[in-house]
């Protein structure tokens, strides 16, 4: 009987020892798994939240700086556009009739300054040189109102109605019968600009030998085509 109890006690001791060993092994396994997890997902740094906040603030500050720089560039561009428009507007105002300032010997006529040198007789080319000496060129007009204003000025200067014809800045020397101003613009044709020598055929009508435009005094300063070597008074014009 005592031998059987001893055997049972020995078995119970072995069983307790085995359970203890298994329990110890389980705790070691759990600890190992915990260490591996800590290595794969390291714990947050105590200042991680603060670092993330600083990063977000830095990015926001950078974006705001970029926006401010772009706004400054846009504002500068708008200022330049405004200044350019003001300059163009000012120049346009200066060209309006009544706002032109002409220095003697020039006289304001419409939006330009005119100088009629009745006592100067030149060829067409020489007349252009004379005007160039006054920083001007032979006169031109594009509409009937400007033409009428020029005629009014001429009649004021030539009060004595001297038989003096007047050069203007038109010719067809480059291309026959294509009449252009010294500015490169086409001259107006027909009435009320051009005259007629015989009352039927309107000028220009003198053919290839007559390549320069003249205001003919005997026909109330209508335009005629004559030889460029003819001598007449220059009508100079400049824009300011």
Structure tokens that stand for 140 in this block? 């031109």
Instruction: Give the pLDDT score at 136.
Output: 97
Instruction: Give the pLDDT score at 206.
Output: 84
Q: Report DSSP state, residue 185.
A: P
Model confidence band, residue 239 (pLDDT cutoffs 50, 70, 90) = confident
Model confidence band, residue 9 (pLDDT cutoffs 50, 70, 90) = low
pLDDT tens for 136-167 read: 999 999 999 999 999 999 999 998 888 999 99
* % of the chain at pLDDT higher than 70: 63
The CA-CA-CA angle for residues 108, 114, 120, to 5°, reads: 145
Whose CA is closest to 138, among 11, 238, 53?
238
Average pLDDT over residues 182-211: 88
pLDDT of residue 202 exceeding 60: yes
Model confidence band, residue 184 (pLDDT cutoffs 50, 70, 90) = very high
| Other beta carbons less than 10 A from residue 95's beta carbon | 13
Residue 155 contacts residue 119 (beta carbons within 8 Å): no
What are 233's strand-pairing partners?
Answer: 166
Instruction: Give the pLDDT score at 101.
Output: 87
pLDDT of residue 23 exceeding 50: no
180-181 and 233-238 beta bridge pairing: unpaired
Instruction: Give the pLDDT score at 197.
Output: 76
pLDDT tens for 77-113 read: 555 655 655 555 445 444 554 457 899 999 999 889 9
Residue 173 contacts residue 228 (beta carbons within 8 Å): yes
Structure tokens that stand for 1 in this block? 């009987």
Residues 6+ apart with CB under 8 A from 121: 164, 231, 232, 233
Whose CA is closest to 221, among 125, 154, 173?
154
| Other beta carbons less than 10 A from residue 159's beta carbon | 7
Structure tokens that stand for 182 in this block? 């010294």
Instruction: Give the pLDDT score at 61.
Output: 74
166-171 and 233-238 beta bridge pairing: parallel
User: Which secondary-structure segment (H or E) carries 137?
Assistant: strand 137-138
CA distance 141 to 239: 12
Q: 129 or 53, which is more confident?
A: 129
pTM above 0.75, yes or no: no
């Amino acid at each position: 009987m005592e031998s059987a109890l001893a055997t049972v006690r020995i078995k119970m001791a072995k069983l307790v020892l085995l359970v203890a060993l298994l329990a110890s092994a389980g705790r070691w396994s759990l600890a190992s798994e915990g260490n591996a997890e800590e290595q794969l997902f390291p714990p947050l740094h105590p200042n991680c939240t603060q670092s993330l906040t600083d990063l977000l603030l830095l990015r926001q500050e950078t974006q705001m700086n970029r926006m401010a720089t772009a706004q400054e560039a846009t504002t500068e561009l708008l200022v330049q556009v405004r200044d350019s428009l003001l300059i163009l507007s000012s120049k346009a105002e200066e060209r309006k009739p009544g706002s032109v300032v002409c220095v003697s010997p020039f006289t304001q006529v419409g939006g330009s300054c005119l100088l009629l040198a009745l006592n100067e007789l030149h060829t067409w080319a020489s007349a252009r040189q004379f005007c160039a000496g006054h920083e001007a060129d032979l006169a031109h007009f594009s509409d009937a109102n400007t033409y009428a204003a020029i005629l009014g000025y001429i009649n004021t200067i030539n009060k004595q109605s001297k038989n003096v014809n007047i050069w203007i800045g038109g010719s067809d020397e480059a291309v026959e019968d294509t009449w252009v101003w010294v500015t490169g613009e086409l001259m107006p044709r027909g009435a009320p600009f051009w005259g007629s020598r015989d009352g039927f055929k309107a000028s220009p009508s003198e053919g290839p030998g007559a390549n320069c435009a003249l205001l003919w005094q005997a026909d109330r300063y209508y335009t005629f085509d004559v030889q460029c070597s003819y001598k007449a008074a220059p009508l100079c014009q400049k824009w300011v």
